[in-house]
Amino acid sequence: MNNIELSASAKAATDTRRSLGEGGWVWVPFEVDKQFDGYRIDRFLAQRLQSYSRNEVQKILEDARVVKEGRPARASSKVRTGDKIQIAYLRCPEPPLAEDAALPVLYEDEDLLVVNKPAGLLSHPTDKIVSNTVLGVLRYSRKDIKKLHLLHRLDRETSGVLTLAKNPQAARLWTSAMEAHQMQKEYLAIVQGRLSKSEGVIDWPIGREGGDIKVRQWVNVPGAVPAVTYYRVTQQRSYKTPSPLEGEGWDGGTKTPPANPPPQSSPARGEEVYSVVSAFPKTGRLHQIRVHFAALGHPLLGDLLYNGQGKLYLKMIHEGLTEQDRLSLGCSRLALHAVSLTFSHPLTGRKLTVEAPVPDELAALIQPAREF
């Protein structure tokens, strides 16, 4: 592409951004992960925008609402690891942020900001939610920081350590270290049932499952990519439930989990065993820990999406949940918390471990419950 073409392309991108920046449009950023390197952009977007059909993705591209590295993107253009993609969405009405909205800071210096993300808050903007996200809250509460780069993501329902960069150099070096697997993440997960092994490795590729719930992932499906999770059981306890739970008891040993893991009996009528687990994901797939333990036959407590084929997730969307529904899952929220992140500082090289305290609602499941 010559300089004249580059200038015309850059002008077109600027014109696109200017026209869509008016009338309530908002630009939502995406960064291309290594697993999508070489994909056509329409295929990449179909994977990332999982509530959209392929035809809807094509329409977004045709309307010039996608910009790749500052230029309007064509459906056939390829994406590369680290590419910055931006998509324009019509802004939806949102509840205003509280006047004192802020996030607890776990670590901060001139290059990095590490916060403790609460459960229920999105990490990054979407087509429907912009302000009520980690980036939105920080834009509001930390006006002293010119721009923040989200360095990794946590599911909306997951709490804990989340890292952002204050400048492009720190973001670039962090991404390189992450791709080289030079960081260690530790999660607290509370799962149904008693795992037969005190520690192990779950090595099943993960991909989009398909079906009625577009965001749901599963193992060993077409297009799945490698995913590895190490785990160590730290406690086994019980809780009372008003109804039996599904899917506990099978603990692997093969590359393919059974469709319906055989149930095991509970220690007493009206009680269910659960295991407290330290999980160490070596890859960063969407819903990785949740999918791996569900496929193992031990879904996480409070997980609407991966308990009972997602029936309660669909009920939440269409009808809303009762207190009985939530009690049946053993926890009022997803029992997953990013406890710690160990890494070398991207600019100084200093080794750091940042920890997030366990939220009260999960700590209550760990400390007072009866052991087995």
For residue 190, which phi and psi values (nearest 5 degrees)?
-115, 115
HSE toward the beta carbon, residue 12, CA cutoff 13 A: 17
Task: Say what the alpha-carbon torsion angle 71, 76, 82, 87 is, to the nearest 10 degrees.
Answer: 50
201 Cβ partners below 8 Å, 6+ apart? 228, 229, 230, 231
Q: Which of 42, 83, 155, 303 is catalytic?
A: 155
Residue 155 designated active-site: yes
The DSSP letter of residue 74 is P
Of the candidates 371, 304, 299, 295, the one whose C-alpha atom is nearest the C-alpha of residue 332 is 304
Task: Say what the alpha-carbon torsion angle 58, 62, 64, 68 is, to the nearest 10 degrees.
Answer: 50
Crossing angle of helices 41-48/54-62, nearest 10°?
120
Amino acid (one-letter) located at 160: G
User: H/E element holding 138?
Assistant: helix 134-141
Q: Which residues are catalytic?
A: 155
